[in-house]
């Protein structure tokens, strides 16, 4: 479980040091690129809204208020402790994830590979899939307990908002695309309540790919850490609806990435984030880092 707290004891001190914080504030005072501005925002924007975005349970309430609960996955259970996994009435297929971090979930579904298994409890902070018959309830409880023991966010100089989120567990409906497979992740970059760029991640558990488009669905010539899949953007009418939802969710902030799923007759919000990759998003060619940053004017002070 190296993702939530990968740093050594000296590293922890550096991430919590006020001196280091002031040094980073000085170094990031004139951001230009997208990643520069993410780091700028992480260090300066400590509004409660940032915690609402990071906390997956609070995010559901926020989305419900702004665009309606019909744009959320069905909530099967919200658990305060891992033992609830043993007693909650879970459906055959579902998604289990922690509320206080990113990059961890267990997807239980009939289409998972026959040989797929749950991760070791001590290494469970990852995406994993398993068939219902492959779920050992006590093993799943131990994976979830491991999540709840961890404080995600890497100290106040990094993704601090996750550390303010209440540590709980969500059990949500399994989402499926038109062909019955797990849907692609459609990530909309919203600056000053206007969507500028769209990222589509496909085949999470297979040969994962990443493609970029403008708000109208025109392909952009860049890659971002994964190979391009040369997939088509969402259908025009659906993409327009996604842009509208994302821009409504961008109210009250200078930047948010809105992660959506396009389903038959329905668009579902998966996640909101103000700090993609903690300010280390890959861009190839690197000029796109500057291009993404060009559309974002960070405020001198967040209020």
State pLDDT tens for residues 4-36: 444 334 445 445 566 666 677 667 778 999 999
Whether residue 103 lies inside any domain: the answer is yes
pLDDT for 146 beyond 80: yes
**Which DSSP helix (H) or strand (E) runs through 214?**
strand 209-214
pLDDT for 239 beyond 70: yes
pLDDT for 1 beyond 50: no
Residue 27 confidence (pLDDT): 75
Residue 10 confidence (pLDDT): 43
- Check whether residue 189 and residue 55 sit in a common domain: yes
- Check whether residue 289 and residue 195 sit in a common domain: yes
Provide the whole-model pTM. Answer: 0.90
Higher pLDDT: 27 or 212? It is 212
Report the C-alpha dihedral over residues 256, 200, 115, 143, rounded to 10 degrees: 0
Whether residue 211 lies inside any domain: the answer is yes
Across 190-194, average pLDDT: 98
Residue 30 confidence (pLDDT): 87
Whether residue 300 lies inside any domain: the answer is no
pLDDT for 101 beyond 50: yes
Q: Which of 172, 201, 217 corresponds to the end of one domain?
A: 172
Higher pLDDT: 9 or 82? It is 82
Helices (H), 168-276: 236-249
Across 111-116, average pLDDT: 95
- The residue behind tokens 């206007």 is 194
Q: Is 179 left (phi over 0), alpha (psi -120 to 50) or beta?
A: alpha
Across 33-55, average pLDDT: 95
Across 257-282, average pLDDT: 95
- Check whether residue 80 and residue 34 sit in a common domain: no
Residue 204 confidence (pLDDT): 86
- Percent with pLDDT over 70 in the chain: 91
Whether residue 6 lies inside any domain: the answer is no
Whether residue 302 lies inside any domain: the answer is no
Whether residue 99 lies inside any domain: the answer is yes
Residue 111 confidence (pLDDT): 94
- The closest of 255, 290, 300, 215 to 35, measured between CA atoms, is 290
pLDDT for 157 beyond 70: no
Q: How many residues does the chain have?
A: 303
**Number of separate domains in the chain:** 2
Q: Which of 137, 154, 172 corresponds to the end of one domain?
A: 172
Across 176-187, average pLDDT: 92
Across 212-221, average pLDDT: 97
Across 174-202, average pLDDT: 95
Residue 22 confidence (pLDDT): 65
Whether residue 208 lies inside any domain: the answer is yes
Task: Provide the domain limits for residue 223.
Answer: 15-71+182-294
Across 123-134, average pLDDT: 95
Among 5-9, 69-73, 234-238, where is mean pLDDT lowest? Answer: 5-9
- Check whether residue 86 and residue 23 sit in a common domain: no
Q: Across all residues in the chain, what is the average pLDDT?
A: 91
- Check whether residue 289 and residue 187 sit in a common domain: yes
- Check whether residue 84 and residue 66 sit in a common domain: no
- Check whether residue 19 and residue 142 sit in a common domain: no
- Check whether residue 268 and residue 186 sit in a common domain: yes
Whether residue 301 lies inside any domain: the answer is no
- Check whether residue 117 and residue 249 sit in a common domain: no
Q: Which of 112, 141, 172 corresponds to the end of one domain?
A: 172
- Check whether residue 81 and residue 61 sit in a common domain: no
- Check whether residue 101 and residue 231 sit in a common domain: no
Helices (H), the chain: 9-16, 18-27, 34-44, 48-54, 56-67, 84-87, 137-149, 160-164, 236-249, 287-294
Banded pLDDT at 63 (limits 50, 70, 90) = very high
pLDDT for 120 beyond 70: yes
- Check whether residue 166 and residue 186 sit in a common domain: no
Residue 23 confidence (pLDDT): 72
Across 277-281, average pLDDT: 93
- CATH number for 201: 3.30.470
Residue 205 confidence (pLDDT): 86
């Amino acid at each position: 479980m190296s993702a939530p707290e990968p740093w050594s004891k000296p590293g922890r001190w550096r991430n919590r040091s006020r001196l280091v914080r002031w040094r980073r504030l000085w170094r990031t005072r004139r951001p230009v690129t997208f990643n520069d501005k993410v780091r700028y925002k992480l260090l300066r924007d400590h509004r409660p809204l940032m915690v609402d975005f990071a906390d997956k349970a609070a995010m559901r309430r926020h989305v419900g208020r702004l665009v309606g609960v019909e744009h959320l996955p069905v909530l099967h259970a919200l658990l305060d402790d891992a033992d609830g996994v043993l007693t909650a009435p879970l459906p055959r297929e579902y998604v289990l994830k922690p509320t206080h971090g990113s990059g961890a979930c267990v997807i239980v579904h009939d289409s998972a590979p026959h040989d797929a298994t749950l991760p070791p409890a001590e290494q469970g902070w990852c995406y994993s899939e398993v068939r219902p018959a492959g779920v050992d309830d006590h093993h799943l409880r131990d994976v979830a307990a491991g999540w709840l023991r961890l404080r995600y966010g890497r100290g106040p100089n990094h993704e601090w908002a996750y550390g303010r989120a209440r540590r709980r567990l969500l059990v949500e409906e399994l989402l499926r695309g038109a062909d019955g497979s797990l849907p692609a992740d459609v990530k909309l970059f919203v600056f000053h309540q206007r969507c500028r760029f769209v990222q589509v991640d496909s085949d999470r558990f297979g040969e994962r790919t990443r493609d970029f488009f403008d708000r109208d669905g025109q392909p952009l010539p860049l890659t971002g850490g994964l190979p391009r899949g040369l997939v088509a953007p969402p259908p025009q009418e659906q993409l327009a609806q996604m842009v509208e939802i994302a821009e409504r969710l961008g109210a009250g902030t200078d930047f948010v990435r809105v992660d959506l799923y396009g389903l038959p007759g329905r668009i579902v919000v998966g996640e909101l984030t103000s700090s993609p990759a903690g300010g280390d998003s890959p861009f190839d060619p690197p000029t796109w880092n500057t291009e993404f940053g060009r559309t974002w004017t960070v405020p001198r002070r967040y209020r």
